[in-house]
Amino acid sequence: MSINGVEWLLIIGVALILFGPKKLPELGRALGKSIREFKKATNGLLEDDSGKKQEPSQTPGHIQKAVQPDTPPVSKESSQANQ
């Protein structure tokens, strides 16, 4: 969904009425500056993440061996006794 020419004219007309012709260039500059700073910050975060590739300290197999079950395993004898 994009904005066509008529919609842009309507937006600009409303902005002129609300803020006036003297204040509008200041608002445009401030908006542009804010967008630039936001892009700089997001690019900086993306570069930080892509530059640091850390290998896991252990493989999932090692982790699985370290996990102890909370309950004892069910044997055939105990399952037959419950029936």
At 47 the pLDDT is 76
| Residue 11 resides in a domain | no
Task: Note down the domain range covering 45.
Answer: 22-49
pLDDT band at 33 (very low <50, low <70, confident <90, very high): very high
| Residue 57 resides in a domain | no
| Residue 6 resides in a domain | no
**pTM (2 decimals)?**
0.43
| Residue 1 resides in a domain | no
CB-CB contact of 47 with 55 (8 Å): no
At 79 the pLDDT is 55
| Residue 34 resides in a domain | yes
User: Coil, strand, or helix at residue 9?
Assistant: helix
Average pLDDT, stretch 20-35? 91
Count: domains in the chain: 1
| Residue 75 resides in a domain | no
Q: Is the pLDDT of residue 76 over 90?
A: no
| Residue 83 resides in a domain | no
DSSP 82: T
Closest CA to 15 of 31, 1, 2: 31
Average pLDDT, stretch 49-77? 65
| Residue 30 resides in a domain | yes
| % of the chain exceeding 70 in pLDDT | 65
